[in-house]
Structure formats: C-alpha cells, structure tokens
Structure 1
Amino acid sequence: MTLSPDTLRQISDLTRTHYQDSAESFREGTADHDVSQNIAALLRHIEGTEPFTIMDFGCGPGRDLKTFSGLGHRAVGLDGTERFVEMARDDSGCEVWHQDFLALDLPDAYFDGIFANAVLFHIPAQELPRVLGQLRATLKPRGVLFCSNPRGDNQEGWNRGRYGSYHDLAAWRDFMTTAGFEELEHYYRPTGLPLDQQPWLASVWRRVG
C-alpha cells in the first residue's frame, strides 16, 4: 500500500509529538545507555586524518554529540523534535539542525561519517530509498554511515505513539546496497546474549562512488 503525502505528514507529525511530549523522560531514561560499541564501529572505518566531521542523525537530547565532540571531532546534530534540538544545543554546545527526517535539506559531500543510532526505523519503507540517497549524498566520497535499528520481519506501523519499520538483515542490505553503499560489518545488540535476545541490528556502510 502506498502512503499518501497526508499520511506521511501525519506519521512525521505524530512521531515528533510523541518525542516532544516525552523529551524529559526520554533524556533521563537514555542518559546512561552505553553505545560505545556503536561509536567505535563508525570511527574505525572512517578514512583520512582526524578530526572528522560527523553528523549525529536523530541526535535526540545530545548524549552522543557530547561524546563525539569530547573525542575531538566536529559533531553536528540533526533532529526533528524541537525540544530535543534545544536540549542537544544546550547540553553539547554543538551545532544542531532542526529538520524533519522526511524533508531533509543537507549539504553535498560534507560529512566524513553519519551516526544514525536508533532512528532510521522511523522512516516508512517507501521513503527509505530517498532518505538513504540524501544521506549518501551528504557524505564525502567513501564516507561511512553507521545505523542501528530494532529488527523485525519487514513489517511497519504504529507502536506506542511512534511509527516504525522493522527490517531483517536481508531487507536492510537490499535497501542499503540499492542506495549506493557497501557493507563493512554488522552485529546484533546487546552483546553477549543469544540471538533471540538481541533485538537491535547494527551495521556499518561505506558510500560507493
């Protein structure tokens, strides 16, 4: 089924409203999440000389912006939720762009890496090729995209006030390779648990061309 422009606007608006209304509790609930494995996965694949210019796509309250900045990189955040943008600017001191994920306006060949942690699953599947194309275009040649998403059986819909698309590895690979990326690695999280207890699929990709 094709989602109409009105439906896409509703998906975007209601998902942002969910996060806007729960911004404080979200910040408190995620402040201590350890994503060092994911940050390291992005950084070890970026080529060139540090410091790198990195976009935290869906930066939320700014937790990971502070980490990238603290490591000496130039970190730029992007989020669609106004309250998150305010929090991230205040807490990290970094530049943060307020943009709807379905209406991006990004510079060409600007970033060495993109950190998309727990965010791309909010993009409806029909819009994902376009959004991935925009992320590819804002990466420098051979730039690197990290993404982590809750995995599933390629279904999508509403879940507790948020819209989500839940892909398996094969489907995600197809989206990414079609968009012009090559796979560098993938793994499941949390580490050290059986696969059926690892709901997150993390993967790292290089821009081709």
Structure 2
Amino acid sequence: MATHPTGSSEEPQVDPVAESVAVYSDHADDYETTHATKMSERVEQFASSLPRPSLILDAGCGPGRDLAWFNAHGHIARGVDLNPDFVAMANRHAPTSQCDLRKVGSRFPAGTFDGVWAAASLVHLSESDTMEVLDQFARLLRPGGRLYVCLKSSGQTGWLDEVDGRRWYTVWDAETFAGTVANAGFEVDQVDRGVFVEVWATLSR
C-alpha cells in the first residue's frame, strides 16, 4: 500500500488513497453538480458494447451519475465507493456499498459481472495498487467481459492542491498503462489519449 509521511519518521504514515477520497466529502454536492453531465457519450459507448441487460460494476462510482445512466440504458448496475457520503448519494440510483477498490476482489464472487466501469476511480492509487486492482477486475468479470478505465496521463505524480482540496494522483504514460491492462489478462480494444488515458478492453482469459 502506498504511503506518504506526514512529518518525522516517528509519526504515523497516512494512506494517500484514504486521505484523497475523504476530501470529496467537503464538497460532495458541488462535485455531483459539476460532473453531472460529463462522460455521457462514453457511458453510452460502453453500455452499447454489452448485451442488454448486463450486470455492470461501477467501481468507484462517486455520487452515482453513471449508475443512473447504465440503468437507463437497460442494464443492471451496482456501485462501490470508498467515500461514505458518495455511497449514500449513489444508493439513490442503484445498490451501492462502501468498499476500498484495493479489496474489491473479495467483495463479490469471481465471474460476477459482464462489465467493469472505472471512470477516473483509480487516479489516487499507486502503480502497484493499480496493477493489483486490474487483476481483481479480471477475476470479477465473466469470460468476454468488458472493461473501461481511465487515469491521469498529464502532470506529475504526487500531491496536488486543488480548489476543493488536496489529493494524491499517480500519472501514467498511455502506452505503459495500456500494457498494464493487457498484462492483467485483457485484450486492449481501444486507447484514447489526452489529459486522461482511456482504455477499453475485453477479458481474454
């Protein structure tokens, strides 16, 4: 697990993931409003890639925007998120439980889902944690299951002071991340490059 010292070597270390995710609670309603209309085309593309109805895990669902959209597209959505305020908000749209994505593989039986959707939800994880979570996603998917995941690919890895709080981000090179997805057992179908690298993939094992 990635850690970041808060001071001297004798002080306890904090978990950047937990600390970063907790910050969202300070402006949860504003976050929901700000991001309410984003990603709709990508959600539709992912929803259209699966037979209806399919069971989709929104891994790191935030306040539940995409859960509602997947349901509207005729699918069955389930959410998990580490932030308890987001979990409460997301439960208005679909069943959602509090879960650290680094332990998501133990939350559901293997082969439960037809699709895993991880929209900017791994951005606070270290590289090693991200690799492990991708392996867990692969175990949770049925054969031929679909994956969408996007991560930051611009800026620098480390703590970032933003308008609504301070968070840790891990920045990935697009090719490196696509290769990491492939190494987790996926066939990479599409890579979109930009401020975020977006990978669309199919479970190949």
What range is the shorter-chain TM-score in?
A: 0.7 to 0.9
Determine the structure 2 residue equivalent to 1:103: 103
CA distance in 1, matches of 2:84, 2:139: 25
Report % sequence identity: 26
The 5 A counterparts of 1:5-44 are 7=13, 10-33=15-38, 35-44=39-48
* 8 Å Cα contact 2:3-2:16 kept in structure 1: no
Determine the structure 1 residue equivalent to 2:157: 156
* 8 Å Cα contact 2:59-2:81 kept in structure 1: yes
1:74–1:151 distance in 2 versus 1, CA, 3 Å = same
Q: Does 1:128 align with 2:134?
A: no
State the Cα deviation string for residues 87-132 of structure 1 (Å, max 9, x = none).
Answer: 1112x1x110210122322321011011111112221112111111
* 8 Å Cα contact 2:55-2:75 kept in structure 1: yes
Determine the structure 2 residue equivalent to 1:71: 73
State the Cα deviation string for residues 148-199 of structure 1 (Å, max 9, x = none).
Answer: 222137x5211121111111211102211111111111224xxxxxxxxx41
The 5 A counterparts of 1:159-178 are 159-160=160-161, 161-178=166-183
Determine the structure 2 residue equivalent to 1:180: 185
Runs of 4+ in structure 1 off by over 3 angstroms are 2-7
CA distance in 1, matches of 2:198, 2:41: 10
CA distance in 2, matches of 1:54, 1:71: 11
The letter of the residue matching 2:34 is G
Q: Number of paired residues?
A: 192
CA distance in 2, matches of 1:40, 1:72: 11
CA distance in 2, matches of 1:12, 1:40: 29
| Higher mean C-alpha deviation, range 81-90 or range 104-113 | 104-113
Q: CA deviation at 1:4?
A: 5.4
The letter of the residue matching 2:20 is T
CA distance in 2, matches of 1:76, 1:32: 20
Q: RMSD of aligned C-alpha atoms?
A: 2.0
Determine the structure 2 residue equivalent to 1:194: none
Q: CA deviation at 1:71?
A: 1.5
Stretches of structure 2 that go unaligned for 5 or more consecutive residues are 5-11
* 8 Å Cα contact 1:57-1:114 kept in structure 2: yes
TM-score, length-normalised on structure 2? 0.86
CA distance in 1, matches of 2:48, 2:37: 23
Q: Tell me the SS of whatever aligns to 1:162.
A: strand
Determine the structure 1 residue equivalent to 2:91: 89
* 8 Å Cα contact 1:124-1:156 kept in structure 2: no
Q: CA deviation at 1:54?
A: 0.5
TM-score, length-normalised on structure 1? 0.84
